[in-house]
Amino acid sequence: MNITTIKSIKDIPQEENLSPGTPTCAGCGGLLSLRHCLKVLGEKIVVVNAAGCFTLLAVYPFTPFKSSWLYTAMACAPAGAQGIRDALDILIRKGRLDSKENLKVVVLTGDGVAYDIGLASTSGALYRNLDFYYICSDNEAYGNTGFQSSGATPFASKTGTTPIGRISPTGLELSKKNLFEIWRSHTPPYLATISPAHPVDLINKFKKAEQYKGPKLFINLSPCPAGWVTDPSHSAKFARLAVDTGIWALKEAIYGEVKHTVVPKSFKPVEEYLKGQGRFAHLFKPVRQEETLKRIQEMVDQYWDNVCSRESRKR
């Protein structure tokens, strides 16, 4: 199938399906991406939401969406998507709803839901090959409750539940769950990571996903000024640094086959990304935690060593 891809930022569709003036924090990386996602998804969608920052997008009687919205509960947005998808299919098949009235079903969650409490219901929806979009806004912690550690929180991050103290100078001692691989093991037709700093890549991925029936999943690394303790005007900068340092790999998997879509020509040191973020400040002050910094760099290097060797073998 021919997919029209866009080449530059100038080709991004002009239409807006998300009104300005939402109650999200200034510089919300999740919202930056969501705006772009909705440009491709269009108006004929129903957003199924689980508890998270985006729940507060629609506060009675206002909604910033041109489309429909259903808030479910924290653990079960994919199950809500199942009910709506099945019901629409039934209504259309039985001739009780015009197919023009059909909707794309889009699950919108944060990382707390996607990595933790909602993992079972997502796995169920993937297993059932549900025809839906899933967008995870990953700000690497429970942001809406004030930034506590989640399954998406990276090693050495400071959060409300992994504070820096005499006994724990490092912050979180665990590593971020690999949600991409968890989802990939279900071999959905389309799975990708996206970034608000790469809107062209993002839009092309959504356009590509459109052609597949079944689960289409996106993990968006969403800079969170409130939790990351960064300046709201620096969100795009940190999103870009995450890609340039190799910490956030932009990739896609079509039926499980992985391809990296943006590979930096030369990787910047991870320090450039970590520095300037309040959640990692303890790695630099009052003393530089050399061991920890080294370990983070090694984790990133190891990942890319595997990628390059694997992909070069393919060539």
Partner 1 sequence: MIKEMLTGNAAAAWGVRLAEVDYVPAYPITPQTEIIEMLARWISNGDVDTKFVTLDSEHSMITAAGAASATGVRVFTATSSQGLLYGFEMLYTVAGWRVPLVMVNVSRALSSPITLEPDHNDILAARDAGFLQIHCETCQEVLDSVLIAYRLAEDERVLLPVLINMDGFHLSFTREPVEVPDREQVVRFLPPYRPKHAFFKASQPMAQGTAVIGGSGYSYFKYQMHFASMGALDVYREVSEEFGRLFGRSYNTTEGYMIDDAEYILIMTNSFSTLGKAAVKRAREKGVKAGLLRLRLLRPFPELGIKEAIRKAKAVAIVDQNISVGKGGILYSEISSVMYNEKERPLLLSFIGGLGGKTISSEEFEFIFDRMIEAVDTGVGKVPYLLYTEMEWKEMEKLKNVAGKGNKNYSNCRGETHNITEHGKE
Cα end-to-end span (Å), the chain: 23
Look up tokens 């060539």; give the residue: 315
Write down the least CB distance from residue 278 to partner 1, Å. 27
User: What's the min distance (Å) between Cβ of 28 and partner 1?
Assistant: 17
Q: Would you say 68 and 94 are in contact if contact means Cβ atoms under 8 Å apart? A: no
Does 299 engage in binding with partner 1 (CB under 8 A)? Answer: no
Rounded Cα gap, residues 87 and 134, in angstroms: 19
* Choice between 20 and 165, CB closer to partner 1: 20
Each residue 43-72 as x (binds partner 1 by CB under 8 A) or -, in order, gives xx-x-x------xx-xxxx-x-xxxxxxxx
Give the 3-state secondary structure of residue 99.
helix
In whole angstroms, the minimum distance from the beta carbon of 27 to partner 1 comes to: 22
Using the minimum distance from each CB to partner 1, give the nearer residue, 72 or 292. 72
Residue environment code for 57-95, b if the CB has 16+ CB neighbours within 10 A, otherwise e: bbeeeebbbebbbebbebbbbbbbbbebbeebeeeeeee
86 to 125: interface string for partner 1, x by CB under 8 A: xxxxxx--x-xx--xxxx----------------xx-xx-
- Examine residue 79 and tell whether it contacts partner 1 (CB under 8 A): yes
Q: Does 78 bind partner 1 (CB under 8 A)?
A: yes
**Could you tell me the two tokens for 51?**
């508890």
**Binder of partner 1 out of 34, 76, 202, 241 (CB under 8 A):** 76
C-alpha to C-alpha distances, 103 to 3, 38, 89, nearest whole angstrom: 21, 13, 10
Residues that bind partner 1 (CB under 8 A): 43-44, 46, 48, 55-56, 58-61, 63, 65-73, 75-76, 78-84, 86-91, 94, 96-97, 100-103, 120-121, 123-124, 127-128
